[in-house]
Amino acid sequence: MSKKIFISVASYQDPLLLETLCSAYQNAENKDNLVFGVCEQADNGINVHSINFKDQIKYELLDPVMAKGPCWARARIQSLISNEDYFLQIDSHTIFAKNWDKILINYHAWIEKCLENHFVISGYPRGFKPNKELDSFKLNTAYKETLGITFREKRMFEDGYYSMQKSFPANTNLPAKGLLIAGGFIFARKEFASLIPYDPKFYFHGEELSIALRLYTNMWDVVHIPRVPLFHLYTDVDNLIRKLHWDPEDEKNRAIKWNELDRLSKSRLGDLINNNLESPFGLGKLRSIKDFGILSGVDLINKKIIDEELATNSFCFEEIQSKFEPFNSVNFEND
């Protein structure tokens, strides 16, 4: 039976939004099984009615002055989920590999046979660069092994409880369990969105760690995979300069400025870590934040680095293997 995928796309003044939607659709094996939830915050939105798969797009266009950050937008999008089987969250500057939908579902099915807990597949995808005409893209397919996520050295607890993250090799070509997630790539059963819903009161900083902590304490695992079948634009290039949320032209008309939203978000991360938030946005009760800290090398509550090498390099990646269906026996049709 065919499986439907709900694709969450939050976009802020992004000239690549249409390319992202078209790339996902055109490169999917089962195009009819895709449902897009799009929250576009822009002066002039895309022309949805001109898209040949418009009936598969649930679209909202908002004045960028009203925008309150990606978490707020992603929370709005999750309310659009219906009878889909899987949930995929991406950024609006993403390019997809051929048959990406079949690849991700195959990954998920294999991992599901190996793990007892609920899980999400996440990580920082490899990058791409567009040409000047924005009609072709150079994909970075060089690295084939599994990329996990660790904390970034010299950027831990740099502003209260907030720490930066980085992509880091998990030293395996098999899927591996980790702890940290990337907001620009989350793939899971659709229940993730109802059991660990996005907190709209987060802004940008704190988004990823807050989700990771809620997953861990609710007994969800995070899995990193090799050769993620989508690619992310990590830096603005000269021909693709775009407004960001703190652009002065939009910012001057906002009642709540971006730096205040950022301050409130980082404060909310502290409330989460100290277990001061209620359900559904608080910590779970099935695993402790203290154990998360021991595994990751940080004391989150006291804002102390216990083991910097563990936190930023070696980390606690755990290779996943199956005695019944070896990973290399599965055809993932990936690069």
Distance in angstroms (rounded) separating the CA atoms of residues 264 and 279: 19
Structure tokens at 135: 């009609």
* pLDDT above 70 as % of the chain: 95
pLDDT band, very low/low/confident/very high, at 335 (cuts 50, 70, 90)? confident
What pLDDT is stored for residue 74 in this prediction?
98
Residue 123 clears pLDDT 60, i.e. is over it: yes
| Mean pLDDT value across residues 137-147 | 92
Greatest alpha-carbon pair distance for the chain in Å reads: 59
Q: What pLDDT is attached to residue 277?
A: 97
d(CA 30, CA 277): 40
Residue 238 clears pLDDT 70, i.e. is over it:
no
- At residue 64 the predicted structure's pLDDT band, cuts being 50, 70 and 90, is confident
Q: Stretch 210-235: mean pLDDT, rounded?
A: 96
Encode burial over 154-163: b for 16+ CB neighbours within 10 A, e otherwise: eebbeeebbb
How crowded is residue 75: how many other Cβ atoms within 10 Å of its Cβ?
21
Whether 141 shows a pLDDT value over 90: the answer reads: yes
Nearest to 210 by CA among 146, 155, 160, 147: 160
pLDDT band at residue 241 using 50, 70 and 90 as cut-offs: low
Alpha-carbon distance values, 114 to 47, 122, 195, 320 (Å): 43, 17, 21, 7
Provide mean pLDDT across the span 285-303: 96
Q: Is 6 in contact with 35 (CB distance < 8 Å)?
A: yes
| In the predicted structure, residue 1 carries a pLDDT above the cut 60 | no
Compute CA distances 302 → 44, 266, 290, 321, whole Å.
Answer: 45, 15, 10, 35
The pLDDT value given to residue 246: 66
Dihedral angle of Cα 305, 307, 312, 317, to the nearest 10 degrees: -130
CB-based contact 60:37 (threshold 8 Å): no
Reported as a single tens digit per residue, the pLDDT across 83-104 is: 999 999 999 999 999 999 999 9
Spatial strand order of the sheet with 94-96 comes to 94-96, 230-232, 126-130, 137-139
Strands (E) in the chain, as ranges, are: 5-12, 34-41, 57-62, 86-91, 94-96, 118-122, 126-130, 137-139, 147-151, 165-169, 176-178, 185-189, 220-224, 230-232, 298-299, 304-305, 318-319
User: Band of the pLDDT at 207, cuts 50, 70, 90?
Assistant: very high
Distance CA 88, CA 93 (A): 14
Of the candidate CATH numbers 3.90.550.10, 3.60.15.10, 1.10.620.20, 3.40.1370.10, the domain formed by 5-325 belongs to 3.90.550.10
Distance of CA 69 to the CA centre of its chain: 14
Q: Quick check: 221 pLDDT over 70?
A: yes
Average pLDDT on 259-272 reads 92
- Give domain limits for the chain: 5-325
pLDDT at 191: 97
pLDDT at 21 over 70: yes
Mean pLDDT value across the chain: 92
Mean predicted confidence (pLDDT) in 228-236:
90
